[in-house]
A and B are shown apart, each in its own frame.
Chain A
Amino acid sequence: MSELNTPGTAVPLEQSPIAPKPPGRIRQALDSDIVYSYTRSPVTIIASIIALLLILMAVFAPLIAPYNPFNPASLNLMDGFTPPNSTSFSGNYFALGTDHQGRDVLSTIMYGLRVSLFVGALATLFAMAIGISLGLAAGYNGGTLDAVIMRIADIQLSFPAILIALLIFGIARGLIPPSQQEGAAVWVLIVAIGLSNWAQFARTVRGATMVERQKDYVSAARIMGVHPIVILVRHVLPNVMGPVLVIATIGLALAIIEEATLSFLGVGVPPTQPSLGTLIRIGQQFLFSGEWWILLFPAITLILLALSVNLLGDWLRDALNPKLR
């Protein structure tokens, strides 16, 4: 029950408080309820601060990282396996220690975050672009196109995204000549992760589009000869932005985990451009020999990133759509 009625303007009780949202509702919500629920949720506030800090670290990595771990000139193998918070053989201080090649773990994490976030964000945008377009097309046209698109989405949703991404990755690897593989790896990864996550967007957008399409203003616009694309972009899209935002946020967390998993499996980004997953893959080799920091710090960073983005997505879902709670 969100609104109270003033005396006199009696409204029948049966009228649902969750009436269909008029356009522009999201903007209204941003003004009031969202901010309200944000300030009421300490977990969300902490999650958003952590996410923001990690993003800033990634963006400004070249400026704030203590070392450039990918400049061979600055590497000193003698610095290898320096424990955290200590000074190495060559007199350099490493807050989080170094790996086997003497690279500063803190700096590799900052650069790794950069790769992880870059791939995750672009893959999510890619999935969003495909999902929204196909969802709008399916929902607006209906018929065979709708059936085909949604059937594909259904089948794809029943398989784990990681499997689809692996397959796409494998196929791409077979099609791209070996000499170009290293340079293309990041883009292949983005496409593979994006293609494995579009279906959720398509499903949601299609549902909302079908609802909107029934409404009078859409019929009116259609009769007046407004181009379908204009109708979709002007009228339908704003109405689905709420759910899309929620899926995109949770999808970003999934994409980051997916990228990390692929890189951990050794089929992700090339070793010259390590992401958090690659760092964990490297660190795992030293688990038994006692150099725990090479694994632990990248792992914590990845968990913090995935968890904080996930928490934000969860909160966003509750705040935008109390019905789901």
Chain B
Amino acid sequence: MLAFILRRLAQSVIVMLVVALIAFMVFRYVGDPIASMVGVDTRLEDQEIMRDRLGLNDPFYVQFGRFIGNAVRGEFGISYRLQQPVSQLILERLPATIELAFASALIALVFGVGLGVFTALKRGSWLSGFIMSASLVGVSLPTFLIGIGLIYIFAVELQWLPSFGRGQTVDLGFWRTGLLTESGLRSLILPAITLSLFQLTLIMRLVRAEMLEVMRTEYIRFARARGLSQRAIHFGHALKNTLVPVITITGLQLGSVIAFAIVTETVFQWPGVGSLFINSVQVVDVPVMAAYLMFIALVFVVINLLVDILYYVVDPRLRVDAAGGAK
């Protein structure tokens, strides 16, 4: 187990280094850092002095090393646009994005698995046919249109739910949460649904396909030949086996949810890191772009690691093999 985790950790570090290299090249070579910091009328000699002082004339690897060192300490410089430390900007907005992402991942998981199992078991029924067709329409709909549609129905016409922002938030010192107030929770509903729909259809289709696959296996046939009840077969045997691959994909989807939040946050003016990123891309605010890239990569790497460990816990075959146990 320990060897397994260490190996995965090493792989994660390599991936992070590669992403860091890309982020560094964006940071260093897209636009001119000096030109972004000083006015046009600064003398060239002064710019050159500044360049030297900031280490921009050092060899590539020295600069990259410094970038990594700073990144590890969470320092990504000052945002060109907002003139604030990038790390502070991201930390301020992180709770909003994480709460949104988790709420929608939860929706996607619960409904995705539920509907997937339902459509697999009731393959012939009109309702599962309808759900499958609806899911195809669902993947064809751009996320932002779903968001606009929901705003129109529930905020403009019915006026049940707010259409933008986080509502009232409570500051817990290290975390500003919207989960503790009624307006905060109400504000979360529409964005969370919007963000979840794409992943929901994906998970549903995956669960359905896996479940159908598992239902065809010999051990399910054998379970039926042993006279086990439908319930024991479907939910005891089939579902558990279905969940092994589903965990992997779903876990990775959680990472996508955070990245996908860019669009949802824009539609609902949700003050998270996604909308911060989009605003930075519009004005080429390079430090923020580089930091966001590192942040997303970190999220993906951490999730990958967690998924691997979870996978390991669920599937006994991996456990024994990795421990070098009996055949």
Residues of A within 8 A of B (CB): 155, 158-160, 162-163, 166-167, 169-171, 173-175, 253, 257, 260-261, 264-267, 277, 280, 284, 287-288, 292, 295, 299, 302-303, 306-307, 310-311, 314
Contacts and interface: CB of A to CB of B under 8 A. Distances in A.
B223 interface: no
Interface residues of B, number: 37
B262 A162 contact: yes
B145 A303 contact: yes
Interface of B: 15, 26, 30-31, 136-137, 139-145, 148-149, 151-152, 156, 252, 255-256, 259-260, 262-263, 266, 277-278, 280-282, 284, 286, 289, 293, 296, 300
26 contacts: A159-B296, A160-B259, A162-B262, A163-B296, A170-B26, A170-B289, A173-B281, A261-B142, A261-B143, A261-B263, A264-B144, A264-B266, A265-B266, A267-B278, A267-B282, A277-B142, A280-B148, A287-B151, A287-B152, A288-B156, A295-B148, A299-B145, A302-B142, A303-B141, A306-B141, A310-B140
The 8 closest A-B pairs by CB, nearest first: A174-B30, A170-B281, A307-B140, A174-B31, A310-B140, A174-B284, A163-B259, A257-B142
B281 A169 contact: yes
Contact of A166 (B142, B252, B262, B300): B262
Given A166-B277, A173-B284, A284 B137 contact: no
B152 to A, nearest CB: 6
Nearest to A303: B141
A284 B142 CA distance: 14
A261 B30 contact: no
Nearest to B289: A170
B259 A159 contact: yes
Given A170-B280, A299-B145, 10 more contacts: A158-B252, A159-B255, A162-B259, A166-B262, A167-B293, A174-B30, A175-B31, A287-B152, A306-B140, A310-B140
A171 B296 contact: no
A190 B276 CA distance: 24
Nearest to B260: A160
Nearest to A155: B15
Contacts of A314: 136
A280 B30 contact: no
B314 to A, nearest CB: 20
A169 to B, nearest CB: 6
Given A159-B296, A257-B142, A267-B282, A287 B148 contact: yes
A280 B151 CA distance: 14
Contacts of A302: 142, 145
Contacts of A253: 140
Contacts of B293: 167
Contacts of A292: 152
A299 B260 CA distance: 20
Nearest to B285: A170
B259 A170 contact: no
A307 B137 contact: yes
A310 B252 CA distance: 24
A41 to B, nearest CB: 13
Given A158-B252, A159-B259, A160-B259, A166 B278 contact: yes
A169 B262 CA distance: 15
B256 A159 contact: yes
Contacts of B26: 167, 170-171, 174
A260 B145 CA distance: 10
A297 to B, nearest CB: 13
The winner among A160, A260, A261 for most chain B CB atoms within 10 A is A160
Given A302-B142, A302-B145, A174 B263 contact: no
B217 to A, nearest CB: 18
B67 to A, nearest CB: 16
